[in-house]
Amino acid sequence: MLHLQFIADIRGARVRELEEKRINKEMANIRKKFKDGNLDGYQKKKYVAKIIFTYILGYKVDVGHMEAVNLISSPKYSEKQIGYLAVTLLMHENSDFLRLVVNSIRKDLHGNNEVDNCLALHAIANVGGSEMAEALAEDVHRLLISPTSQSFVKKKAALTLLKLYRKHPDVISAAEWALRLVSIMDDDDLGVVICVTSLVMALAQDHLDAFVVCYTKAVDRLRRLVIEHEYAATYAYYKVPSPWLQVKLLRLLQYYPPSGGLRYMMWNPFTHDSLEDDPAIRSVLHQVLQTIMNNSAEPSRNVQHNNAQHAVLFEAIGLAIHLDTNSPLVSTAAVLLARFISSKETNVRYLGLDTMAHLAARAESLDPIKKHQSTIILSLRDKDISVRRRALDLLYSMCDVDNSEVIVGELLRYLKVADYALREEMVLKIAILTEKYASSYKWYVDTILQLISAAGDHVGEEVWYRVVQIVTNTEDLQEYAAKVVFEHLKTPSAHESLVKVGGYILGEYGHLIANEPGYSPIEQFHLIHSKSQYCMAGTRSLLLSTYIKWVNVFPEIKPQLVTIFERYRHVLDAELQQRACEFYALASRPEDDELLQNVCEEMPPFPPRVSALLGRLNRKLGDTGDKRTWVHGGKDANVDRELVQQRKASTSEGPSQPIRKDTQDISDSLAGLDFSSPSRPDPLTQHVVSGPNVDRWFEKLTYSAEGVLYEDVQIQIGIKSRYQGHVGQLAIYLGNKVPTPLTSFTTTVYVPDPDALSVTFAKIPPNTIAPRTQTQQLLHVECKKAFTEPPLLTVSFLAGSHQTMTIRLPIVLTKFVEHVKFGQTEFFERWRLIGGPPREAQSVFAIQLNNAAQLDLAKNRQVVSGHNLNVLEDIDPNLNNLVAAGVVHTSVEGKVGCLLRLEPNKEAKLCRLTVRSTSDDVAKEVQKLIQKPLIADT
């Protein structure tokens, strides 16, 4: 019990000197014990625990590191726990000792003891440097996806991966692990789902394409929580089902762009369409958001219940705004927000203003927000600074041509009493709004000069630079600007930024007002020079440039100006001295010398350039770990932001820089070696399941309505379809053949040409198939124009391990053909009218005779009629030949006629297939589809 005596002595020390003396004595004893060796596990644990206690008290510790490493390898939990605690507290991520524990940590990760797993995960999360992350990230991932891992281990593994990704994103194979990580979002334990969703949120922000499947998973989980109430009672927080998970899922959905709100679309690599365009997902999402808003319509008396509901509600409103600002949901949300910004609770006001700023950043019309303009302006004087900041952001976002003068005027009045933490941001926003929505140049100049006068030190260089640019480039404004700035300079406490503006404008355009009373050259000189003594060297340098301009245009005050140059020739500042010497030399030249006139010519207009104010504001606001999907500043600012992002994305994939010659020589010598990093396979080129049976099943389904598409020992996939005109329905029957459920079941469809073919699910597919049962998924199909590639169905599920397969769907062009009946004369008339190539597709191919060594006329007829072409009787005198006709229906290109002749030859074992159509693409595709099942196997 000596360690308890040690703690008692420390607590009993009355002064720090006694405490230090006792600690030094104990550390000396511990060093001696460690040096002597022969300590058992219990003794090592006891002494390392004392070292940890000393470290926690704030004393430096330089002993016990190796013993802590050894304790981690101990089979006893108490010793292992102290070892891990010492490692996480005493070592930093770059410590050399950490290299010694990697193998011990890996062993604990691979072990069957869940407590050891958790201790190892804690250590990785707390001190995992780049080396440890690179060595153990795969092991942590394996622990997360293992079907034998306990729920609490999975939670810790997910959060450990999240910590590693935030510190060392390069060591996480995000795209490679995407499908497997997203599948865990279907876990029965909501605690696991919350942790994995946090991980997916971080990864999806940087890898939208790879994690696109999480969109459907998130919508489905929200449906089960909000509408179907599928959750354990332990996850109901004051009758709100798992509000933390709801908030995360709603935020995750906002990372993916809306269907029509942005010009830059992020395409779903499986449906090749924007995610919200899927009617099944859109319908469910609308129900979820509507239910959340209905549940929050009336506030409860319970504060905790209100807090949880409001947390979910504001994220739901944010998602509704993100998806479509014109939807009825957003109209409902606007009414709710109006109530929230007037709430007595500070948190509710804050969230209401922030969400309303999101609405202002997306909405086509600001009228619903302008109704509450007076309330928002009052929020500028709220007692809480965070609410005042959100009110400023909202006023900045809702400003337009109609209310700009009111909002800018209010902001100017508030600027004089605003918090110092807000002033610089306010100055930038006022300057941006004044320039963007100026009703006249005179109002712009008046407002900006008031801003500079009121803000003082909070005015950045960019503000007065921009004023100078606009005045220089606007000839009608120059005389007015000179007068106004002269009047502002008369104030006793004119700020230095105002002196800079005044020095530049009066130097360039002071001569325009020199003949008016009160603005004579000598009065301009006295006014400017009286301010110079309070200015920094940079401002004085600018004023010297103003004086040399006046030497050129105001010869009557030349003596006074030359005197100033003479005085400044002897100052210590090198810049001022050089300017004064140069300007003195210029001013001393003869009056008929043209050099002075040439040097002091009026400044030419500035070239058109983007305002630097926006860049300064964006740099000041910075970015956060959770990336916003919108920015303050109205709809135009958000559209511009998306265009910039699109441009960055396109330039990042653009042509590389020219290769230097020496680099080229090295590259030539290393030719043939592949140094490229592996990338995620494109859905177009990824492996499609094939084989004799699979190909035969697919081929048969191209000319039949139902049958088996795929089958193995675990799953059977069957198809049943019907088509009418340019639309159709495809029922996919998914059967589980094993005695265990198929969990995290995901089905996605990839359409190679979405402009020609649309394939969508009727409803969100179920995520579990019970043992030895079958489930059905319905697809809606629409043919827009001729297409050549069938869509791909990707199926993934958990059955012990994660399995994924991609199969071709039997949706081909001939599914949209309808019968046409012709007589002999009419058929051959149309046949000749269409003519030969390119509207004709013809091929001669080998065929196989039946068992009786005869032509298989029944199969020929079955294939042709199965492709929905009407076999016409009594057209061709040769009874072995087939003549058929049909019309392809498309929604965009309309109807396309198609005629066919099939002429088999028994003796030659050959067949000639000729297809003529008003569209050469249709002719080629129909010829290819019909030839495929008839051609003889080689």
Cα–Cα dist 126/65, whole Å: 16
514 labelled as ligand-binding?
no
In this structure, what token pair is assigned to residue 327? Answer: 């939807």
* Helix, strand counts (H, E) of the chain: 38, 16
CB neighbours of 631 closer than 8 A, spacing ≥ 6? 361, 618, 637, 638, 641
Pairing of strands 240-241, 236-237: antiparallel
Q: Which of 890, 859, 558, 866 is nearest to 707 (CA)?
A: 866
Q: Which of 764, 762, 802, 779 is nearest to 717 (CA)?
A: 779
Q: Which of 248, 238, 243 is nearest to 225 (CA)?
A: 243
SS3 94: coil
Residue 871, CA distances (Å) to 6, 829, 895, 931 in order: 101, 17, 19, 16
In this structure, what token pair is assigned to residue 628? Answer: 């916003």
For 695, list phi and psi in degrees, rounded to 5: -65, -40
- Residue linked to tokens 């070292």: 51
DSSP conformation class of 172: S
Q: Which of 294, 276, 270 is nearest to 219 (CA)?
A: 276
Residue 131, CA distances (Å) to 143, 170, 270, 479, 633 in order: 19, 12, 36, 66, 43
DSSP conformation class of 343: -
Gyration radius (Cα) of the chain, Å: 39
Cross-strand pairs, 905: 910
- Which strand (E) or helix (H) includes residue 721? strand 715-724
156 labelled as ligand-binding?
no
239 labelled as ligand-binding?
no
Characterize 194-231 residue by residue with b for buried, 16 or more Cβ atoms within 10 angstroms of its Cβ, and e for exposed: bbbbbbbbbbbeebbbbbbbbbbbbbbbbbbbbeeeeb
Three-class secondary structure assignment of 760-821 = EECCCCCCCECCCCEEEEEEEEEECCCCCCCCEEEEEEEECEEEEEEEECCCCHHHHEEECC
For 905, list phi and psi in degrees, rounded to 5: -130, 115
C-beta neighbour count of 659 within 10 angstroms = 11
Cα–Cα dist 599/602, whole Å: 9
581 with 562: CB under 8 angstroms? no
For 59, list phi and psi in degrees, rounded to 5: -95, 145
784 with 892: CB under 8 angstroms? yes
**CA torsion, points 856, 859, 864, 870, in degrees to nearest 10?**
90
Cα–Cα dist 360/844, whole Å: 65
120 labelled as ligand-binding?
no
DSSP string, 574-587: HHHHHHHHHHHHHH
42 labelled as ligand-binding?
yes
Q: Which of 861, 793, 818 is nearest to 727 (CA)?
A: 818
By 3-state DSSP, what share of the chain in percent is helix, strand and coil, each rounded to 5? Answer: 55, 10, 30
Dihedral sign for Cα 100, 106, 111, 115, please: positive
Cα–Cα dist 119/86, whole Å: 12
Give first-to-last CA distance, the chain, whole Å: 88
Name the amino acid, one letter, at 239.
K
Q: Which of 680, 806, 800, 808 is nearest to 744 (CA)?
A: 800
Rounded (10°) angle between helices 558-568 and 521-532: 20
Q: Which residues are annotated as a binding site?
A: 33, 42, 46-50
